[in-house]
């Protein structure tokens, strides 16, 4: 059970969808933009980290979490179906007295261009408390925003880690040769 704590605590509310995608991948006839976007500036990086941290503060509010998820996620699952499943997962996590104690974010990866969006991965380490015991989990967030700027949208990497093809259903113009960060689904107990 502890091996799926990260998936249940973070990915379920942030976007674990255990359903078959709703449509097949589309293809664009337009010429592909450069696969790698310009590196994030210091200010853009700081804003990405600020928004990611603020997003974790919303972990108990499914409606607020949906607002910071990429809308493209709902190409994979009906919104109402996701909401119902996420609320059930949240109730299970509350029954386990599960909460995030601390979140640390690493350096964002290379930003990739996907049509009018920029996509990057944001490695993270979560310290979670479950029934009074501490666990550490390493993973990443998918971060997406318009090339014109604006708010970042987030999806926990656990949602796509076992189904990388879902990423191209959501963002068909994303280059195929991107590098995914390492995801560690196993939640390791931490000694007090």
Q: What is the CATH number of the domain that holds 64?
A: 3.10.450
In a domain, 23, yes or no: no
In a domain, 167, yes or no: yes
In a domain, 25, yes or no: no
Model pTM score: 0.78
In a domain, 24, yes or no: no
Give me the domain span that covers residue 101: 2-17+31-189
H helix intervals, 57-97: 62-67, 79-95
The percentage of the chain sitting over the pLDDT mark of 70, rounded to a whole number, equals: 78
Are 145 and 50 a contacting pair, CB within 8 Å? no
Please give the tally of structural domains in the chain: 1
Summarised one tens digit per residue, pLDDT across range 36-88 is 778 899 999 999 999 999 998 888 899 999 999 999 999 999 999 999 999 99
H helix intervals, the chain: 5-6, 12-14, 42-56, 62-67, 79-95, 165-170
Determine how many CB atoms are found less than 10 A away from the CB of residue 79. 12
Q: How far apart are CA 102 and CA 80, in angstroms?
A: 30
């Amino acid at each position: 059970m502890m091996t799926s704590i990260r998936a249940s605590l973070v990915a379920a509310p942030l976007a674990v969808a255990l359903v078959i995608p709703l449509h097949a991948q589309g293809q664009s006839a337009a010429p592909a933009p450069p696969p790698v976007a310009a590196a994030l500036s210091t200010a853009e990086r700081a804003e990405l980290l600020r928004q990611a941290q603020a997003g974790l503060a919303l972990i108990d509010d499914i409606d607020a979490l949906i607002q910071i998820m990429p809308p493209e996620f709902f190409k994979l699952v009906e919104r109402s179906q996701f909401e119902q499943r996420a609320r059930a997962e949240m109730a299970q996590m509350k029954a386990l007295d599960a909460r995030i104690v601390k979140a640390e974010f690493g350096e964002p990866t290379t930003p990739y261009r996907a049509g009018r969006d920029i996509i990057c991965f944001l490695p993270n380490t979560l310290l979670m408390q479950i029934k009074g015991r501490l666990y550490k989990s390493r993973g990443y967030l998918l971060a997406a925003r318009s090339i014109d700027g604006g708010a970042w949208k987030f999806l926990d990497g656990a949602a796509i880690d076992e189904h990388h093809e879902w990423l191209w259903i959501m963002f068909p113009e994303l280059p195929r040769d991107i590098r995914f960060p390492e995801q560690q689904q196993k939640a390791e107990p931490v000694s007090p």
